[in-house]
Each structure stands twice: as C-alpha cells, then as structure tokens.
Structure 1
Amino acid sequence: MSESNQRARRTCVSCGINISGTNAAAFKCPDCGAQIYRCAKCRKQSNLYNCPDCGFEGP
C-alpha cells in the first residue's frame, strides 16, 4: 500500500474522523504495539479509546 493510501485511512480511534493533515497523535498500543491515531480534540478531552487489535482501553 502506498504512503498516500495509508494516510488516507488514518482515523481517530476515539471518534472516527479522518486525521490526515491534522494535529493528531500517533502512538503504539501499550499492550500489543499496534499503531493508534487520536485527533487533537479527543486527546484534549481525554476521551477513552480502544485498541482495534487487542481491545486495550486507555484515556
């Protein structure tokens, strides 16, 4: 998959919006290491998120 296609598929794991070109955070799941993306709004509000791979829940 090309890098541009990967960017297009990046969505916030908390609210589901497309985070391409925004001030979003990308980090690895503390449990399984899967890549997780969160938008600035969800990070600021400390919305919960679930890892799509292992189900880990974090603030």
Structure 2
Amino acid sequence: MSQSKQKQARRCVSCGINISGSNAASFKCPDCGQQIYRCAKCRKQSNLYECPDCGFMGP
C-alpha cells in the first residue's frame, strides 16, 4: 500500500477524522479481516462502526 493510501486509511471509521492520538484503536474486522481504525472519542462513546469492505456493524 502506498504511503498516501496508508494515511488516508488511518481515519476513524465512525466519524471520519484523521487518527493521530495514542488512545485510538486499530483492529481487524471480525468478519473479513479488514483493518479498522477508531478514534478515542468514538471508542469512549461506544459509537457504532461499519466495516467499509463487508458492512459488518459493531459497537
């Protein structure tokens, strides 16, 4: 993956902001394994997220 795509991919899947804080989460989708990023605020508020590849939804 190119550097510009990596930076673009490091966006919170819930709210869309660029991830830069140390409290951000990075994990693989339980269904398809796509890397998912969430910001600290969305994690704390338990905002829903949707995998951009398969549509899996989680808290």
Q: Shorter-chain TM-score: which interval? A: 0.7 to 0.9
Using structure 1 for the length normalisation, give the TM-score.
Answer: 0.87
Note the 1:1-59 alignment, pairs <5 A.
1-2=2-3, 5=4, 6=6, 8-9=7-8, 10-19=10-19, 21-22=20-21, 23-59=23-59
| 1:32-54, Cα deviation, whole Å (9 max, x unpaired) | 00000000000000000000000
Could you list the runs of 4 or more consecutive aligned residues of structure 1 that deviate by over 3 angstroms after TM superposition? none
Amino acid corresponding to residue 42 of structure 2 in structure 1: C
Q: What percentage of residue pairs aligned between the two structures are identical?
A: 78
| Alignment RMSD | 0.9
Aligned residues: 55
- Where in structure 1 are there 5+ consecutive unaligned residues? none
Using structure 2 for the length normalisation, give the TM-score.
Answer: 0.87
